[in-house]
Chains A and B, each alone.
Chain A
Amino acid sequence: MADLLEYKCPCCAGKVEFDPNSQQMKCPFCESEFTIEALQEANGVQEQAEDQLNWETPTSDWGDGETDGMKVYTCQSCGGQIIADETTGASACPYCDNPIVMTGQFAGDLRPDFVIPFKFDKEAAKKALLQHFEGKKFVPKVFKDDHHIDEIKGVYVPVWLFDAEAQGQFRYHAEKVKRWSDDRFNYKEVSHYMVKRAGRIAFEQVPVDGSTKMDDTLMESIEPFDFKGAVPFQTPYLSGYLADKYDVTAEDSIDRANNRIKQSVADEIRKTVIGYDSVVTEDSGIQLENAKAKYALYPVWLLNISWNNEKFTFAMNGQTGRFVGNLPLDKSAATKAFCITAVIASIIVFILLMIFNNGQ
């Protein structure tokens, strides 16, 4: 660490000087005293090191004859290209519900490294959808009755999976508070600490949605996917399902993975700061290295419902069964319920207050 000429007081940021009387560093503004070691720790600067990102991206090609049974279907409305068995009965785009037409033989592009096969079938997906509606208030009745649950589709969504090692350095300001009282006074003693942590953590298979048509937030909502259930990709797995082609490159997906990884590094290292009443992060540096990207297909059951000129998409994790989807709010039903609840609650509170006041 470079030698600093000037040390800042951790308490009031004034310039701290050596006090010969106490033989310690003393701040002339707030009168706090520190050891030299404590000051050096407090004034230490986090060096911002660079990310060591040498991303290895997948380059595996299709084998001979592997793509024979795969056809490309183009959506008339959103222009998306779906891949499916030539025998597939699908005729509607899983993302926008408009008709798709077979436009040709599938060829080229990257071959996925892995696939997580569907663990839940269509019946299970339909059951999960109905359960999702159960118990939810203020959903317009018409919406709940008028849906095409049979049109729920199994789609393999292309994802980029990122492995990385991360290093993090953090500096925190922490406090311990002691309170006690005697006959005349209440006492509060706050002890201030400079806390530093540095460490490394490894991440595996952080997924980033590789399709612009699959909403990233929706895909993240049905996580996590368990990579232990993944198998090396083979074409027969696609049979009966639709597969999407990736249209976001690994390079473009990296930022999303990086942001999530960096947040987790901060969270995990923060967990090692224990025994304090309050902790505030003052400075941090995170670097990623040894990054690898793999291409995989993850299973998702998808359903679109259009209502009131809005599109509602529901998704179920085809491996774990987790079901998500925002439901529309019937504003008038909610307002009515609010008014009735407010009136009833007010009456009850009023009666209680009258009883309480009369009882006194």
Chain B
Amino acid sequence: MVTNILIAIVVGIIIAAIIIGIQVSALKSVNERHEASDYVKQGSLQLSQKTDVFLYKKLEKTEKPQNNQG
């Protein structure tokens, strides 16, 4: 019973934080621009080098938990 109450309180706080957080962030609309993607000249991208070289492989094996019967 007590666990249920605690879980309910924590989840309730998280839900409220998300909802209120979204509403508060809607108040801010002024942001710096770090890129100039709107000003790229269309079709001007020309790749002069395109190399993809395979280096090495690594294999990880993890044993599955076995359900022992009997």
- Contact of B4 with A187 in the complex, beta carbons under 8 Å: no
Contact stretch, chosen from A89-97, A123-131, A147-155, A319-327: A319-327
**Residues A181-198 near B (CB distance < 8 A):** 181, 183-198
- Contact of A257 with B36 in the complex, beta carbons under 8 Å: yes
**Residues B30-56 near A (CB distance < 8 A):** 30-41, 44-56
Hey, which chain A residues are within 8 Å of B61, CB to CB? 185-187
- Contact of A201 with B64 in the complex, beta carbons under 8 Å: no
- CA–CA, A353 to B6, complex, Å? 11
The count of chain A contact residues (Cβ–Cβ below 8 Å) is: 85
- CA–CA, A41 to B57, complex, Å? 17
- CA–CA, A272 to B29, complex, Å? 31
Question: Contact residue range for chain B?
Answer: 35 or more
Hey, which chain B residues are within 8 Å of A349, CB to CB? 7-8, 11-12, 15
Chain A residue nearest to B45 in the complex (CB): A201
| 0 or 1 for each of A202-234: is its CB under 8 Å from B? (1 = yes) | 111111000000011110110110000000000
- Contact of B55 with A10 in the complex, beta carbons under 8 Å: yes
A260 in contact with B34 given A181-B64, A338-B16 (CB within 8 Å): yes
Contact stretch, chosen from A29-37, A77-85, A102-110: A29-37
- Contact of A34 with B56 in the complex, beta carbons under 8 Å: yes
Chain A residue nearest to B28 in the complex (CB): A326
A224 in contact with B39 given A139-B27, A341-B16, A345-B11 (CB within 8 Å): yes
Q: Does A13 contact B (CB under 8 A)?
A: no
Residue from the list A42, A185, A187, A197 in contact with B55, Cβ < 8 A: A42
- CA–CA, A42 to B35, complex, Å? 29
Residue from the list B27, B37, B60 in contact with A187, Cβ < 8 A: B60
Going nearest first, the 10 A-B pairs with the smallest beta carbon separation are A346-B12, A350-B8, A342-B16, A224-B38, A345-B12, A202-B44, A198-B49, A341-B16, A202-B41, A260-B36
Known A-B contacts: A185-B61, A221-B32, A326-B29. Give 4 more (CB < 8 A).
Answer: A196-B49, A261-B36, A269-B45, A341-B19
